[in-house]
A and B are shown apart, each in its own frame.
Chain A
């Protein structure tokens, strides 16, 4: 729906949709290849009975996926996976109709990046289309959906709107998709520390090692009385904890430094933009919506991180 002349004359202001929450990403890490499914030489890995490393950025997970892949002590930390709308603001204040329509709205990234992955990924391909050391990633595809009780918002961005199906690897010039590359990165960021409640990264992971060591002791104590099936499970769990401790010790700062890290993106969406439902005004879907967000607070042991961002919709309140 495009704005009529009366709205075009008016000053366009933004309805800002603020969202945040924990995401999960079963991502392969250097020096494993980007499509590594088990994790053999990087610091991330798929443990027994878990889903493979499928690279997918999951802003939401279902119960079965969470049960399968949520490692101890994720639940004890009170970190539930799910990126949600936390506010809808207009003119510097919460705009009640939009806030109600989007109360706790689920924020999702849809689409696939085949044959690489069956979902959206942080794409660098070991420095082929981005750069791992510079944290220069493209989130591809970028197909956003926000689903609330009173409204659904979708927005899709193309690397090349002239060729919507064109993939990152098909470009010859990274400048052509520069707008979709992360804009900057930083470690030791205060906002991130506050968001994930980790102010002592070394202590956080020291506690993690102690937790894993206690779990090993607990499971070892259960071995003597265990039947063969339980014994096999306990032994696998013990070795999984050992592998997690190994990774924390082996990689050290490489894991520790990521818990207060942030990587930012910001761009104007160039594809279809749709609002279904009522936000208490009119949204201009013809003008590109601007989105800015960061992913960070990465826990390379739990394979979770935190995302926070804002989607700006050109808006005229009712």
Chain B
């Protein structure tokens, strides 16, 4: 393999390590938002531009991209677990708005992947947009490792998609139809003059973190480096394609980084392993083949490009968008509080704030509020009459709150309860207003679930996890039936 020198300054202090990790957290979070938005746009039924046969391709893509989004959450969790393990604070914010152009994905930064004689790479802005062939290719470019790591089979495709044509355009990933996006600041650049910091790719970022951890343990010693706490990273059954484990020392941290880079870029993965990059390449090829056979094929609904929270004119859509925003921010507060405050002792101590967060943040809020409400939004009208999409934008005040996990608010149950209750009331109120009929029963279901969820948060806070709902409780196992008494 051709070795590409890491353009990033090597990590020589814990403060620098924390900076790099928070940069990684922001990127993983933004990947996840883009993938989720794309998934929300994918059709849920065949229609005039998506036959029964074509729909099965769409379904398999949805399954794959949802998995990739879950794994980005896993990566976000790994990064935050390393942060808390070294005594830093978790970070569940991002750059604030979409669209955004991270410095990591500018043409200049991506040129680190370029081998001699190749054209300049394309800028890869981050958008919330409906899924399309261009989107699939853009995601492949985003997840791609250095070209030195790419197989011959895929190199030609990546050259066509991810590098500029002679006129400087990048049509394969949707460039040219939209205004350019301003480059977002990087935490790393914030501490140095822009010219001093050569941003590489996310591969370089993780390699720098890995090398930095090894260096810091050797120079500071393990106790000084790992002076934080294990995160409460839940050990979720691996059957959901995410592999979480406690991170508390160099070995577990390096394992976490290896997991991230092998899943994402396919680095050091076994031959044939399906990295995110490889999966997007395959989906893009599949999509192109379907279009060749049927140019009318459309995999997704026309969700708006980069919607804002308060950009909808229809009152119902606006209210749903505002409710989603409150719910999404509530989720980020819950994750921040959980990762910041977790210790094993505190988890088992009354009041059971950590158990309240753990029991409700994941499947209940993520699936039954965030995803479910996003799907209801797609049944509501956007400003052009098409379906509406959610916004993952965060206000400066919200970002400031997420950047301060040590604040007393995170120890207060009301910090989490109030926005969940607010979402419930907003959605219950929305049900009293005119709505497209397909949206009504789905919204009613969400309101039921949120009503119970708010109660669950309080119940868990007071009493912990209900034993019958604890998969680790041995009392939930039946006595095996053997059929024979052989004694």
Which stretch (B47-55, B83-91, B205-213) binds chain A? B47-55
Q: How distant is the Cα of A175 from the Cα of B455 in the complex, in angstroms?
A: 13
Within 8 A of A (CB), among B416-472: 441-442, 444-445, 448-449, 451-453, 455-456, 458-459, 466, 468-471
Whether B240 pairs with A30 at a CB distance below 8 angstroms is yes
Min CB gap B223→A, angstroms: 36
Number of interface residues of B (CB under 8 A): 59
| B151 contacts chain A at the CB level, 8 A cutoff | no
| B45 contacts chain A at the CB level, 8 A cutoff | yes
Across-interface contacts of A175 in B (CB, < 8 A): 466
| B166 contacts chain A at the CB level, 8 A cutoff | no
**Residue from A131, A132, A186 in contact with B480 in the complex, judged by beta carbons closer than 8 Å:** A186
Q: How distant is the Cα of A42 from the Cα of B371 in the complex, in angstroms?
A: 13
| B314 contacts chain A at the CB level, 8 A cutoff | no
Q: How distant is the Cα of A35 from the Cα of B376 in the complex, in angstroms?
A: 12
Whether A169 pairs with B478 at a CB distance below 8 angstroms is no
Q: Which residues of A contact B (CB under 8 A)?
A: 30-35, 37-41, 45, 47-49, 114-116, 125-136, 167-175, 178, 181, 183-186, 188-192, 194, 232, 235-236, 238-240, 242-243, 246-247, 250-254, 262, 264
Min CB gap B213→A, angstroms: 31
**Residue from A37, A125, A192, A250 in contact with B368 in the complex, judged by beta carbons closer than 8 Å:** A125
Q: How distant is the Cα of A250 from the Cα of B441 in the complex, in angstroms?
A: 31
The residue on A at minimum CB distance from B442 is A35
Known A239-B52, A247-B63; further 5 A-B contacts with Cβ < 8 A: A40-B44, A127-B364, A174-B469, A242-B56, A243-B56
Question: By DSSP majority rule, is chain B's interface helix, strand, loop, or mixed?
Answer: helix
Across-interface contacts of B362 in A (CB, < 8 A): 127
Q: How distant is the Cα of A127 from the Cα of B452 in the complex, in angstroms?
A: 11
B30-67 vs A: 1/0 string, CB under 8 Å? Answer: 00000000010010111000011111110110110011
Min CB gap B482→A, angstroms: 6
Whether A178 pairs with B468 at a CB distance below 8 angstroms is yes
| B483 contacts chain A at the CB level, 8 A cutoff | yes
Q: How distant is the Cα of A239 from the Cα of B51 in the complex, in angstroms?
A: 11
Whether A191 pairs with B363 at a CB distance below 8 angstroms is no
| B411 contacts chain A at the CB level, 8 A cutoff | no
The residue on B at minimum CB distance from A239 is B56
Across-interface contacts of A242 in B (CB, < 8 A): 56, 60
Whether A128 pairs with B456 at a CB distance below 8 angstroms is yes
Whether A127 pairs with B67 at a CB distance below 8 angstroms is no
Whether A246 pairs with B466 at a CB distance below 8 angstroms is no
Could you give 17 example pairs across A and B, Cβ below 8 Å?
A47-B56, A125-B368, A125-B452, A133-B237, A136-B476, A167-B448, A169-B452, A184-B479, A185-B476, A188-B480, A190-B483, A232-B52, A232-B53, A239-B54, A242-B60, A243-B56, A264-B478
Across-interface contacts of A235 in B (CB, < 8 A): 51-53
Q: How distant is the Cα of A128 from the Cα of B372 in the complex, in angstroms?
A: 14
Q: How distant is the Cα of A236 from the Cα of B66 in the complex, in angstroms?
A: 23
Whether A131 pairs with B469 at a CB distance below 8 angstroms is yes
Whether A38 pairs with B44 at a CB distance below 8 angstroms is yes
Min CB gap B301→A, angstroms: 13
Whether B46 pairs with A41 at a CB distance below 8 angstroms is no
**Residue from A33, A129, A178, A238 in contact with B372 in the complex, judged by beta carbons closer than 8 Å:** A33
Q: How distant is the Cα of A240 from the Cα of B60 in the complex, in angstroms?
A: 10
Min CB gap B47→A, angstroms: 12
Instruction: Tell me whether A31 and B466 are in contact in the complex, defined as CB-CB below 8 angstroms, given that A48-B55, A232-B52 are known contacts.
Output: no
Q: How distant is the Cα of A39 from the Cα of B449 in the complex, in angstroms?
A: 20
Min CB gap A31→B, angstroms: 6
Instruction: Tell me whether A134 and B62 are in contact in the complex, defined as CB-CB below 8 angstroms, given that A128-B368, A253-B239 are known contacts.
Output: no
Across-interface contacts of A126 in B (CB, < 8 A): 363-364, 367-368
| B70 contacts chain A at the CB level, 8 A cutoff | yes
| B359 contacts chain A at the CB level, 8 A cutoff | yes
Min CB gap A138→B, angstroms: 11
Instruction: Tell me whether A49 and B52 are in contact in the complex, defined as CB-CB below 8 angstroms, given that A31-B70, A128-B368, A186-B477 are known contacts.
Output: yes
Whether A236 pairs with B52 at a CB distance below 8 angstroms is yes
Instruction: Tell me whether A128 and B478 are in contact in the complex, defined as CB-CB below 8 angstroms, given that A134-B468, A172-B459, A175-B466 are known contacts.
Output: no
**5 A-B pairs closest in CB distance:** A239-B56, A236-B52, A48-B52, A184-B478, A131-B469
Across-interface contacts of B470 in A (CB, < 8 A): 131, 134
**Residue from B60, B239, B363, B483 in contact with A246 in the complex, judged by beta carbons closer than 8 Å:** B60
Whether A129 pairs with B56 at a CB distance below 8 angstroms is no
Across-interface contacts of B53 in A (CB, < 8 A): 48, 232, 235-236, 238-239
Q: How distant is the Cα of A188 from the Cα of B477 in the complex, in angstroms?
A: 12
Q: How distant is the Cα of A191 from the Cα of B477 in the complex, in angstroms?
A: 15
B347-378 vs A: 1/0 string, CB under 8 Å? Answer: 00000000000010011100110011001000
Whether B483 pairs with A191 at a CB distance below 8 angstroms is yes
Across-interface contacts of A169 in B (CB, < 8 A): 448-449, 451-452
The residue on A at minimum CB distance from B60 is A246
Whether A181 pairs with B368 at a CB distance below 8 angstroms is no
Q: How distant is the Cα of A39 from the Cα of B62 in the complex, in angstroms?
A: 10
